[in-house]
Amino acid sequence: MESLRHLTIEETYELSDAILEGDKQEIKKEIGDVMLHLAFYARIASETGDFDITDVLNSLCDKLIIRHPHIYGEVIAEDEAAVKRNWEQIKLKEGNKSVLSGVPVSLPSLVKASRIQEKVRGVGFDWENRAQVWEKVEEEMKEFRDEFNTEENVPLDTEKAEGEFGDLLFSLINYARFININPENALEKTNKKFIKRFQYLEMKASELKKNLKDMTLSEMDVFWNEAKKAEG
């Protein structure tokens, strides 16, 4: 079961990559891979008598009906924010002890920060506008920078600096949410961009029969800038 769990996580990341690349055929393939793993879990549970795939789907339908009273009931929701507030309030009535109890512990920290912020927003705990959020970003940036404004011979408090850096990242993720940017997608696009440029640099160095370790930073920058220009 543990190995199957790791494979499922791997497949979901591969699906995410395909979505970022916009490769429809790859998306179709990866969706199939994920569904195969879900079918495995359902099959294992059916053999132990816990539930089967029909129970899973019926449970999902019931949950969607209960948590969308503006569609299946008489509740009025004027906008998306109201829908999310209703969703979180219903989850609390279902027995969740905290709004944040639905955030998986195993999520990558960047994704988890986004989910935490979305969850608390659903119950009204949020900034009023993005200008306030940017002020918080600048405040956290200053606090982080201040940790390094020490004498060269004075050792840094690494733990405190790490804490301040975490605060800065959290506030940046919050700002991304306010301007409708998915921070996970944004960072992954930058990762892919860096990889593409660096591999171009490696290719050019190989053509010149040079080892990157023997090249100066200025020499490498020439090829790096070529790669940037090639991207348009």
Indicate whether 149 belongs to any domain. yes
Indicate whether 60 belongs to any domain. no
- CA distance to 47, 156, 232, per residue, from 21 (Å): 38, 41, 18
Indicate whether 154 belongs to any domain. yes
Question: Domain boundary at 86, 106, 125, which?
Answer: 125
Pair 42, 89 in one domain: no
**Mean pLDDT across the stretch 209-229?**
92
In CATH, what number is assigned to the domain containing residue 25?
Answer: 1.10.287.1080
Question: Domain boundary at 83, 102, 125, which?
Answer: 125
Q: Is the pLDDT of residue 153 over 90?
A: no
Confidence of residue 152 (pLDDT cuts 50, 70, 90): low
Pair 133, 106 in one domain: no
| CB neighbours of residue 136 within 10 Å | 17
Considering 1-10, 116-125, 169-178, the range whose residues carry the highest mean pLDDT is 169-178
Q: Which of 195, 162, 190, 192 is nearest to 176 (CA)?
A: 190
Looking at the structure of the chain, the number of domains it has is 4
Residue 50 φ/ψ region, left for φ over 0, alpha for ψ in the -120 to 50 degree band, beta for the rest: alpha
Pair 172, 151 in one domain: yes
Q: Is the pLDDT of residue 147 over 90?
A: no
Per-residue model confidence (pLDDT) at position 72: 86
**Mean pLDDT across the stretch 171-183?**
95
Q: Is the pLDDT of residue 1 over 60?
A: no
Q: Is the pLDDT of residue 169 over 80?
A: yes
Pair 108, 149 in one domain: no
Pair 161, 192 in one domain: no
> How high does pLDDT run on average in the chain?
87
**Mean pLDDT across the stretch 66-88?**
79
**Mean pLDDT across the stretch 37-48?**
92
Indicate whether 56 belongs to any domain. no
Task: Print the domain residue range for 116.
Answer: 67-125
Question: Domain boundary at 181, 206, 222, which?
Answer: 181
For the ranges 38-42, 112-116, 145-149, 163-167, the lowest mean pLDDT is seen at 145-149
Confidence of residue 207 (pLDDT cuts 50, 70, 90): very high
Output 97 or 184, whichever has higher pLDDT: 184
CA 55 to CA 38: how far, in whole Å?
Answer: 13
Indicate whether 36 belongs to any domain. yes
Per-residue model confidence (pLDDT) at position 101: 83
Indicate whether 62 belongs to any domain. no
Indicate whether 2 belongs to any domain. yes
pTM of the model: 0.69
Q: According to the 3-state scheme, what is the secondary structure of 126-155? A: CCCCHHHHHHHHHHHHHHHHHCCCCCCCCC
Per-residue model confidence (pLDDT) at position 57: 94
- CA distance to 124, 165, 168, per residue, from 175 (Å): 16, 15, 11
CA 138 to CA 61: how far, in whole Å?
Answer: 44
What pLDDT, in 10s, does the model give residues 90-126?
777 776 778 888 788 888 899 899 999 988 887 888 9
CA 204 to CA 188: how far, in whole Å?
Answer: 24
Pair 165, 137 in one domain: yes
Indicate whether 58 belongs to any domain. no
Pair 4, 45 in one domain: yes
